[in-house]
């Protein structure tokens, strides 16, 4: 399923991206290649393939053990903050 230039323009508008005509052509080709590759992958028979928890691992979890460790503390955590008060980060108000 090729991606045409109109679809690339629509996607770029939704993403608030300004693309040159050359970029539209380039991304149209690249996205078409990606979609074509995914369509090939969808043709593979995966009925006997067990689902994986993490891509790229065959021996199980790659997560580290959950071990408790001492925290930084307020003084160290806020030492490089541009502004803090009473051990808390001060940030500009974003909700009116």
pLDDT digits (tens, 9 = 90+) for 44-88: 998 998 887 666 655 556 677 889 999 988 889 999 999 999 889
The mean pLDDT value of the chain amounts to 88
- Contact present, 93 and 81 (Cβ < 8 Å): no
What pLDDT sits at residue 33?
95
What pLDDT sits at residue 64?
76
Residues 6+ apart with CB under 8 A from 75: 87
Looking at domain 5-42, which of 1.10.1760, 3.40.50, 3.40.630, 1.10.20 is its CATH number?
Answer: 1.10.20
């Amino acid at each position: 399923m090729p991606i045409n230039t109109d679809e690339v323009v629509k996607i770029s508008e939704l993403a608030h991206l300004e693309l040159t005509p050359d970029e539209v052509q380039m991304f149209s080709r690249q996205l078409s290649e990606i979609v074509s590759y995914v369509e090939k992958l969808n043709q593979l028979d995966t009925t006997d393939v067990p689902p994986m928890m993490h891509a790229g691992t065959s021996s199980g979890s790659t997560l580290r053990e959950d071990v408790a460790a001492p925290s930084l503390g307020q003084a160290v955590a806020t030492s490089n903050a541009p502004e803090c008060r009473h051990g808390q980060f001060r940030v500009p108000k974003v909700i009116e």
